[in-house]
A and B are shown apart, each in its own frame.
Chain A
Amino acid sequence: MNTGIGARVTRKEDKRFITGKGKYTDDIRNENQAYAAFVRSPHAHATVNGIDASEALAMDGVIDVLDGQQMTADGIGNLICGWAVTSKDGSPMNMGAWRPLADGNVRYVGDSLAVVIAETQAIARAAAELVEVDFDVLPAVAAPAKALDGSSPQIHENAPGNLIYDFGIGEEAATDSALAGAAHVTKISLTNNRLAPNAMEPRSAIATYDEAEEHYTLYTTSQNPHVARLVLSAFVQVAPEHKLRVIAPDVGGGFGSKIFIYPEEVTCLWASMKTNRSVKWTSDRSEAFMTDAHGRDHISTAEMGFDADGKIVGFKVDTIANFGAYMNLFSSSVPTYLYATLLSGQYNIKNIYANVRGVYTNTVPVDAYRGAGRPEACYLVERVMEQAARELGKDPTELRRANFVTEFPHQTPVIMTYDSGDFGANLDQAMDAANVSGFAARKADSANRGKLRGLGYSCYIEACGIAPSAAVGSLGAGVGLWESAEVRVNPVGTIEVLTGSHSHGQGHETTFAQIVSERFDLPIENIQIVHGDTDKVQFGMGTYGSRSGAVGMSAIVKAMDKVEAKVKKIAAHVLEASEDDIVIEGGEVKVAGTDKAMAWHEVGLAAYMAHNLPPDMEPGLKEGAFYDPANFTFPAGAYICEVEIDPETGVTDIVQFTASDDFGTIINPMIVEGQVHGGIAQGIGQAMFEQVIYDDDGQLITGSYMDYTMPRAANLPDYSVHHASTTCPNNPLGMKGCGEAGAIGSPPAVINAITDAIGSNDLAMPATPLAVWNAIQAAK
């Protein structure tokens, strides 16, 4: 059976998950386990005058209660934002101090104040209720525009007016001039609704301190255990890097929310040392809504100018991005280098200018969530394009085609150099699959039944494969964004691949093994992927931004190149042939055109026996590589949504959702389609169901699954998923990345379909039945 590149191999990791044998962090219990429960602020903004833990400490089974003052006294550092974004006047961003346990003010509902360590989780939680906190409640602000208006409370001393930065990108004067000379200008104001990531596995951490070794072990729900270790040691300084082992075992979804270093991991590590106990904390869902980093939350206005032929002449954008109460790990990059750099969309636009103001509010921190900046850019660009087509009386696909980038490489005015793509081919394929030519008849049929029918397009592009280290370094990133791999051929010929990527649903144990199976023509059962443990795996950067294929697998390819070269040298030596004549196939390493061959495992054995190696060759057969990408990659595609709406109720039914994507080379179509399905579901969730709501005082209204609408099976359609691929020229496998596309491309397709059906552009996400019904009434 072919298990190489392009094969629909069922997943190696599935058996443990379908039999209940997965090992998630909360499934682990150490000897003599103690449990943590956090005392959290019920106020969105308050000064803490004092904490009285005496009643909690007196409770049976309570080991200790630790607070922010003690943590500060022990020299534990701040949580940090790792990407320095500069304002357009050259000033640095205004990062306010974020204490893992508050020592002074609290700034959002859920801000952690103290931790109870107890013999059971139930005792810890009960005792946390007994901790008395003396607050002076301060005025709070939750709405980002209001936070900037000068009348709002100051959240951090060093951020006057709550402004984090005032960022600009592109040429403002040239863009203004282009808009002034445009034949038509389309104007739009949009909110990109705030979302809760909702990985189904809640965050969890188990920290254990070994007093004799002065060594810490942390099991945690992380997408990037080495990054976690680096931040916890170098910045937060809770443990030295060489004395801290971070293990991210099976992780139940991430979607960005498990990239970050949160107060709870820091506190569990510190508390394990303070109490000399293994300390375990697992979030419940209510705590997750309060404390997991949220996503999106932009307010934007935009103007796009067109000439008389319908060519875009300029695009100007003004965005306010809500950061919440503290700057989370990569928060600064999301509304700037991951958002404003994608505002050219799939289009050839000479003049673009974007202004982005980052603002503090008394809400939980906001950071990367599936797509991270790119969904916000796509939503803006694609809603503007659809509205412009309506205003200009043009077919929305023709207006797009007239402006598509068709020659590569293409330099946009906002940093990015698109390297490849065929936007027209994806639009053609999606239109064909969606039977767009039959839409008019379907609309007439709907009308006969008293229903409204609409068709909406979205032609998205995103930047993945993050990222060339020097390039992101020049933009302020505090890390390099390469990836690492080590390929170990064992003496018996089986292979272990140690990767710095982390799998939390993406199926790396299968797809990574497929590229090894392909290269060495070996059964996939003989290949094991190892990840997620800083004691086993060399430093790696982890999984986010659809980077594991384009960057993580590229590192494996580089390591396999080295292994292959050594295998051929050994075989050439043993078989007394030229290296150039050696081929690897069918489980053998052989001399082409002859019957001279070694079994694959005999080469492995020869490398480790070292009885007969070429002169000066080191024994062993394992090679490592670091891969630093040459450019971002640019997955792109066309999505078409078709809806039918009951005008009496506003209830919207997605009758057809069609996707055509260009992901470059596809290793496992089954897994790639699954990624697209899940991404589209999250995008439809944003478009029609989901929204985090805080009230004016910063109280979280949508704090559970009773209040926050998660898309269920009956809310979602089947997806019609297709590919029209071009090869990425910048990495060895030609891959672009597929993890986020669905979540990026789908929201504007849905909203464009609904607005098409109701004949009004005035509709915000989420398009609930009430919102759609109101829009229908307003348009009457």
Chain B
Amino acid sequence: MTKIKMTVNGKAVSRDVPDETLLSEFLRENLRLTGTHVGCDTSQCGACVVHVNGKAIKSCSTLAASLEGADITTIEGLANGELHPMQLAFTNNHGLQCGFCTPGMIMTSVDMVGRYKAAGKELTSEAIRNELEGNICRCTGYHNIVRAVKDAASKM
């Protein structure tokens, strides 16, 4: 067992968990933040993406114990009083259907837009499609997700 202390969605948390606990398990089972989803077991689908110290990572492939002191944002912590522009863009552009991949898609996309803006690079549709390589959606065919990300990028 390891005692883990970190900040999740702006709140300090501390739990004793088995060493092998993945961040996705820690969030879902220990903190009961079930918005972070697990859709595969090979780190391919991206439903589990969260932000660790401001960067998008796959929480299914990260040991919670390796993140002592980290600052973590999950889908539940993204809206700051009002919905984040990315959340709004997903609903306005019908970028979700069953909703299962959506938290990971949104967290990946927020990170993506932030990186492109920081680098001063244009976020084209082609770039968005390539950047979504690690996120699988089975419902939307990605068309409206690409539109949602572009829409949000213009507002972030």
**What residues make up the interface of A, taking CB atoms closer than 8 Å to B?**
10-11, 13-24, 26-27, 29, 122, 198-202, 250-253, 255, 284-286, 504-507, 670-671, 673-674, 677-682, 704-706, 710, 712-714, 716, 718-719, 742
Contact = CB atoms under 8 A, between A and B. Distances in A.
A684 to B, nearest CB: 8
Nearest to A370: B138
B97 A15 contact: no
Contacts of B87: 18-19
A426 B36 CA distance: 42
B130 interface: yes
* Residue of A11, A17, A285, A507 with highest tally of chain B CB at under 10 A: A17
Given A10-B92, A19-B35, A27-B34, A674 B144 contact: yes
Contacts of B125: 718
B133 A253 contact: no
B37 interface: yes
Contacts of A710: 44, 136, 138
9 closest A-B pairs (Cβ-Cβ)? A20-B35, A17-B99, A252-B100, A681-B141, A505-B98, A20-B75, A705-B44, A505-B97, A27-B34
Given A20-B36, A22-B35, A705-B44, A198 B138 contact: yes
Contacts of A674: 94, 97, 139-140, 144
* Residue of A16, A673, A710 with highest tally of chain B CB at under 10 A: A710
Given A200-B100, A202-B39, A285-B40, A677 B143 contact: yes
A14 B94 CA distance: 9
Given A10-B91, A677-B140, A714-B133, A253 B45 contact: no
Interface residues of B, number: 57
B94 A671 contact: yes
Nearest to A705: B44
Given A14-B91, A18-B91, A27-B34, A253 B100 contact: yes
Interface stretch (B63-71, B101-109, B114-122): B101-109
Contact of A682 (B33, B133, B138): B138
A15 B78 CA distance: 13
Contacts of A718: 125, 143, 146
Contacts of B83: 18-19
Contacts of A507: 97
Contacts of B91: 10-11, 14-15, 18
Given A17-B103, A18-B106, 8 more contacts: A20-B103, A27-B28, A200-B37, A284-B40, A681-B140, A705-B40, A710-B136, A712-B133
Interface in B24-83: 28-29, 32-42, 44-45, 47, 74-76, 78-79, 83
Contact of B129 (A20, A682, A714): A714
B142 A716 contact: yes
B44 A680 contact: no
A673 B93 CA distance: 11
Nearest to A676: B141
A221 B97 CA distance: 16
B128 interface: yes
A285 B140 contact: no
12 contacts: A19-B35, A19-B75, A19-B83, A20-B103, A29-B29, A252-B98, A285-B41, A285-B45, A712-B132, A714-B130, A716-B141, A716-B142
B113 interface: no
B106 A678 contact: no
A14 B88 CA distance: 10
Given A27-B34, A682-B138, A14 B96 contact: yes
Contacts of B130: 713-714
A678 B140 CA distance: 4
Given A200-B137, A719-B141, A713 B128 contact: yes
A200 B75 contact: no
A517 to B, nearest CB: 18
B38 to A, nearest CB: 8
Contacts of A17: 96, 99, 102-103
A716 B83 CA distance: 29
A13 B102 CA distance: 13
Nearest to A680: B141
Contact of A705 (B32, B97, B136): B136
Contact of B102 (A18, A670, A677, A704): A18
A537 B23 CA distance: 38
A682 B32 CA distance: 33
A27 B76 CA distance: 14
Interface of B is mostly: loop
Contacts of A705: 40, 42, 44-45, 136
A520 B16 CA distance: 55
Given A14-B90, A674-B144, A505 B41 contact: no
B144 A200 contact: no
Given A18-B102, A198-B138, A678 B40 contact: no
Contacts of B29: 29
Nearest to A22: B99
B142 A18 contact: no
A675 B109 CA distance: 22
A489 B14 CA distance: 48
B74 A20 contact: yes
A716 B87 CA distance: 23
B45 to A, nearest CB: 6
* Residue of B41, B129, B136 with highest tally of chain A CB at under 10 A: B41
A198 B96 CA distance: 16
B42 A704 contact: yes
B4 interface: no
A251 B142 contact: no
Contacts of B34: 20, 23-24, 26-27
Given A18-B106, A713-B146, A201 B94 contact: no
A201 B36 CA distance: 12
Contact of B94 (A10, A27, A712): A10
Nearest to A681: B141
A255 B98 CA distance: 11
Contacts of A704: 40-42, 44
B145 interface: yes
A583 B71 CA distance: 59
B76 A253 contact: no
* Residue of B37, B45, B129, B138 with highest tally of chain A CB at under 10 A: B138
B45 A713 contact: no
Contacts of B146: 713, 718
Nearest to B133: A712
Given A200-B47, A201-B37, A705-B45, A719 B143 contact: yes
Contacts of A673: 94
Contacts of B76: 19-21
A704 B91 CA distance: 30
Contact of A253 (B35, B41, B139): B139
* Residue of A14, A671, A681, A706 with highest tally of chain B CB at under 10 A: A14
Contacts of B102: 17-18
A719 B78 CA distance: 30
Nearest to A198: B138
* Residue of B20, B99, B129 with highest tally of chain A CB at under 10 A: B99
A716 B141 CA distance: 7
A353 B102 CA distance: 46
B135 to A, nearest CB: 8
A285 B42 CA distance: 8
A285 B132 contact: no
Contact of B99 (A26, A250, A285, A677): A250
